[in-house]
Amino acid sequence: MTQSDLTLPRPSFVVLALLGALTGMLSGLFGIGGGVVLVPLLTIFLGYQQRLAAGTSVAAILPAAIVGGIGYAVQGNVDWIAALLLAVGIVVGAQLGSYLLSKVPTVALRWIFMVFLFGVVVSLWFVVPQRESSIEMTVWLGAGLVLLGLITGVLSGLLGVGGGVIVVPALMFFFGSNDLVAKGTSLIMLIPGSISGTLGNFRRQNVDLRSALVLGIAASVLSPLGSVLATKITPFASNIAFSLLLAFVLAQMLYKTVRSGKK
């Protein structure tokens, strides 16, 4: 951490535990990293700088992704081949995205991604995957999964969005997965990405390990509950809840984009 980060108020264990519990619940319920909620909470309410918040979030979500992923796997809701192919793509894509961050103008890309998110939010109300659906693996579909992971990694690096926000709807709409397998596979995919990202952030001093440890422990406690709840609600109810979360992400990105444009 930089000297400026060390002077920040140290949040209490209770506050961090509550934020971690919320993150873990959302992670297990929707198969996402949870950073889309945790990062703004850390920056807005706890005064973290953006990079430190992002790095801390990436480290904190690792225990929740492992525990939540195991929860989905025990219930048979993980496509391991798809998760492996996605992980290969996202690890490479994340490195490429971080390299392009200082070289590619992201404003136009951000607007395109927001249009994509809006389309996903709307479609979630009308296109509901069946619980019996599964990914029918072929060579071309496997290549498509690697490409999806690559695109997800690049966008994560360039725009700071979580991989699960992209992967879960993509697996449902383009690869024939049901909602539970999409979420479980997404969580397993996030594990190598979180490890890689945390190591890089640690080298750059962009992670608060104390806070990440408390957040991660609390998140891992609630993540299994989220994965169990996901099986108890109907696919349509799951879609609606996920669409509301994506709408929050969209509103957050829109606010940041408009605000930066005014500056």
**pLDDT score at 8:** 54
Q: Which residue has the higher pLDDT, 134 or 160?
A: 134
Q: Residue 102 — very low, low, confident or very high, per pLDDT cuts 50/70/90?
A: low
- pLDDT exceeds cutoff 70 at 101: no
Residue-wise pLDDT for 136-168, tens only, equals 899 999 999 999 999 988 887 777 677 888 899
Least confident of 21-30, 148-157, 197-206: 197-206
**pLDDT score at 21:** 94
Mean pLDDT, rounded, for 45-61: 85
- pLDDT exceeds cutoff 50 at 2: no
Mean pLDDT, rounded, for 98-121: 79
**pLDDT score at 144:** 96
State the CB neighbour count (10 A cutoff) for residue 96.
15
Q: What is the pTM of this model?
A: 0.84
State the average pLDDT for the chain. 86
Going from N- to C-terminal start, the domains of the chain cover 10-262
**pLDDT score at 201:** 78
Residue-wise pLDDT for 163-192, tens only, equals 888 899 999 989 989 999 999 999 999 898
